Structures are given as C-alpha cells and as structure tokens.
Amino acid sequence: MQAFGGWPNRQISLSWLSVAIFTPAFMALNIRQLEAFRAVMVMGSATGAAQMLRVSQPGISRLIGDLERAIGFKLFARQRGRLRPTPEGASFYEELERSFVGMERLQQTATEIRDMRRGNLRIAVMPALSLDLVPDITSRFLANHPEMRLTIESHTSVRIVEWVAARQFDIGIAQLSLDQPGIDVVQSYRTDCVVVCPLGHPFAERDVIRPGDLATETFVALAQHTRAAVQIDRAFENANIRRQIRLETQPSAIACSMVVRGIGVALVDPLTAAFYGPNRLVIRPFEPSIPFGFRIIQAADTITSRAATAFIREAETLFRTHPSVKPA
C-alpha cells in the first residue's frame, strides 16, 4: 500500500512518538498531533487514520488543525473532496519519517541491550579456573546470549585485582587473602589442594596422602610468590617435614604437566588436577587440608550490567553444583 505522493506505508507502530522526541522544534508539538498527521499520510484519508489510531474522524481533523496552528502552515488541502498534502506538508512528512527511522533504530538498540544481544563483557580469571570451569560458564552464557561478545584473559590474582579495581575488566575471579581497596567481593569459594603423581605411582594404592608420605618424594613446588605456595609451605613446616624440591613453577597447569612426565609429585588445586584427569595423573586427597580459595570480584561501587549479572549467575550455578567447590 502506498500513501500520499508514493510515500511507503511502513506499517510500523507509532508508539515511538510516545517514547521521546528530542529536537527542540518537536518539543513544542503535541505527540498525538504528530501521530494523527502521520496516520493520515500513511492511510491516505482521515477516515483511514481514525481507524488506524482507533479514534473518531472528527478527532483526527481536530488534531490536524491543532498541529497546523502550532507549526504555522497548512499540511493538507482539499481537492475534489479529498485531502491532499501541501508541498510544505510533504516536506514535513519526509522529516518526520527520517526521525521515525532514527527512533526505530534507537528502539532496536534498546531492545538488543535489554535482551543482551549487544555489548562486550570483560572477564579476568586466574589460571586454575581458566582451563575448565570458566570455559563451561562461558559456554552456558553464550548459549543463552549468542550475540554477546566476551573478552576473557587469564593472569595472576594480583594483576586481576589491579585490572578490576581500575575498571579495565567487568568481572574478576581471583585469590584474595584480605579485603582489597577498590574491590567488592561478590561471592567467595574454596577448594582443597590435592596430591598429583605420575600414573603407576605407589600413592595410587592410598586413600589419603600426608606430609610425611612426601618426605622422600621428588617435589614439584608452586612458585613462592603465590598464596597457595605459602599455605603448602606452612603445612610441611608444621609437620616438620623437609621436601626434596627439584623444580619450582607456576601455574598449577605447568606443575601437572611436569608430573605427567615423571619429574616428581606436586600439591595443586583440584580444578587443574581434574582438567588433566585420572587418565594422565594419580590424584589423591591431602591431609591436613590446604584451602585453595577464590572470589568473584568487581570494582567497588559498580552498577552491575545485565550481562555481568547473567554471567555471575551462571558462575554461581556451576560452582554450586561442582563437587570440589564449596562456599567460603
């Protein structure tokens, strides 16, 4: 269907006019008047406009008259009993349609943001969770929001805290020993470190490994600057056990790779150990337990986006059901 002068009938709701009209010239106009004018142009008559807007025909005529008085020129002239747009009316309608297209795009953008079909979410994660858990969370998130774009980087917890505090990343998953300035903790979790050994190691016959069991084993230690290494060292000091450390490394994934190749045994987080799995490593509990904790963090006083909230919800769901992860 064509409207006056060949203008297309876009057959799109006029509700955009009731949302916002931002230009100063339009601010002085009555929204209902503009709706009536556009309806007449689209439908070709006041009768059609009245049906489109579900008002009376005299009501349409009154709105058009009010609009003409407000703008100071005639929009229609009657020829042979029918309304025809004046040249000024035609020019005004063209501008109205351009505004309509812009508002339609704005409404579409708002819908995409609301439905999380637009945007970029930035996540920084410690290595232990980057191998398996965060990919699982990401897969679930993108299944529900396939058009979202994610940036995920893995680094040390110290660097992650710096990045999140500086608002370079929306979400961080890291180890924090104490409350950090510029950081809000969303949720805290803990796991317990496990012993990993090469396949065929005698420890495969044991249910639990203790400090004394490791006294004569070649040990692959985590780097001293990590929080996990400090806690592991303390456990052996308390037991008065001196380990035979051959190699020191970071992160736990490298330690596991060294163990797979028979270089020694190691104490690592259970998440990294599980990623390697029982087909490549012997994995056993360690007593006394050595906690390996992590927290979901955001910058202090952040107004959390809908996308970030959805990602955190997916993470909380996975952590809640994971056999090695407990709330701290």
> Within the chain, which residues score under 50 in pLDDT?
1-3, 5-27
Report domain extents, the chain: 4-114, 120-190+293-327, 194-289
The CATH classification of domain 194-289, taken from the options 3.40.30.10, 3.90.550.10, 3.40.190.10, 3.30.750.24: 3.40.190.10
Give residue 285's pLDDT: 97
φ and ψ at residue 79, rounded to 5 degrees: -125, 125
Q: Output the pLDDT for position 279.
A: 94
**4-114 belongs to which CATH class?**
mainly alpha
Q: For residue 5, what pLDDT is reported?
A: 41
- CA distances in angstroms from 176 to 103, 118, 131, 235, 255, listed in the order given: 46, 32, 20, 19, 22
Look at residue 11 in the predicted model and tell me its pLDDT: 40
**Sequential DSSP letters for 27-67:** HTS-HHHHHHHHHHHHHSSHHHHHHHHTS-HHHHHHHHHHH
CB 230 within 8 A of CB 153: no
What does residue 219 show for φ and ψ, rounded to 5 degrees? -115, 135
Q: What is the pLDDT of residue 13?
A: 41
pTM (global) more than 0.75: no
Distance CA 209, CA 194 (A): 9
Domains 4-114 and 120-190+293-327 belong to one CATH topology: no
The whole-number pLDDT of residue 117 equals: 59
3-state secondary structure of 25: helix
Give the number of other Cβ atoms within 10 Å of residue 132's Cβ.
16
Size of the chain, expressed as the number of residues it contains: 328
pLDDT at 326: 94
- Architecture per CATH, domain 120-190+293-327, reads as 3-Layer(aba) Sandwich (3.40)
pLDDT score for 22: 41
